[in-house]
Amino acid sequence: MMAYFIKVFVSFLVIMNPASIVPVFIELTSNDTLDDQRKTAIKSTLTAAIILLAFAAIGDWLLSQLQISSSALLVAGGILLLIFAIQRVFGGESSRKPTPDEKVEAQHKRDLFVFPLAVPLIAGPGALTVVMFQMKQAAGNIPHQTILIFSMVLVLGINGIILWNGKYIARILGVTGTNVITRVFGIILAAIAVQLILNGFKSFFNLVG
């Protein structure tokens, strides 16, 4: 059980990478008071949690309705995560980083805790893919599903604490520190993605073999 907990916890931690959200969070809330920033941190984290829990609850049903096999999900999810990881390692635009137009839109909306903070910054495509895949893999295994949800909520809690103290953490990490963390996590995520792809092909060939 401990090995499974470490596996899913690290997966969520690497994919969400809370430290990488801090610079964007500070930029989007730069005109807010510290109290308003912290309220936004709480709201964005809770909103992301609701979205991820919803995917965890209906993800398996959705896949069955679409007649998507676990092998296809593994390969597709692995490819998406690999692209996401490569973008993070090389510093390219990723789904986690809002476009200039999105930033302008967010600055004129009072619900920026929903967009772009909760989605796609916290509950991005990588996190949604992983929670759907892991719940599919743990179908019928209540202990594993419980550990999965607990791990996800734990990482979301870490994310909330980091955003709550965003101004201070941004000063400590600086641009260089944030970039280093993002790239190291990107390399780990790339390895996870490749393993998913390999597992998908292995599962497919076992079925047709």
How confident is the prediction for the chain on average, in pLDDT? 83
Percent of the chain residues past pLDDT 90, beyond the cut: 27
Residues with Cβ within 8 Å of residue 31, at least 6 apart in sequence: 107
- Predicted TM-score (pTM) of the model is 0.74
Mean pLDDT of 145-162: 96
- pLDDT of 43 > 80? The answer is yes
CA distance 117 to 45: 8
31 or 91, which is more confident?
31
Reported as a pLDDT band with limits 50, 70 and 90, residue 94 is very low
Range of the domain at 156: 2-6+22-204
Q: Is residue 150 part of a domain?
A: yes
- pLDDT of 103 > 60? The answer is no
| CA-CA-CA-CA torsion sign (19, 186, 50, 152) | negative
Q: How many CA atoms lie within 13 A of 145 on its CB side?
A: 15
Q: Is residue 174 part of a domain?
A: yes
Q: Is residue 16 part of a domain?
A: no
Q: How many CA atoms lie within 13 A of 124 on its CB side?
A: 24
Contact 56, 151 (CB under 8 A): no
Cα dist. 59→64, 133, 175, 195, 206 in Å?
A: 9, 8, 36, 21, 24
> Which segment of 27-36, 85-94, 169-178 scores lowest on mean pLDDT?
85-94
197 or 80, which is more confident?
197
Count of the separate structural domains present in the chain: 1
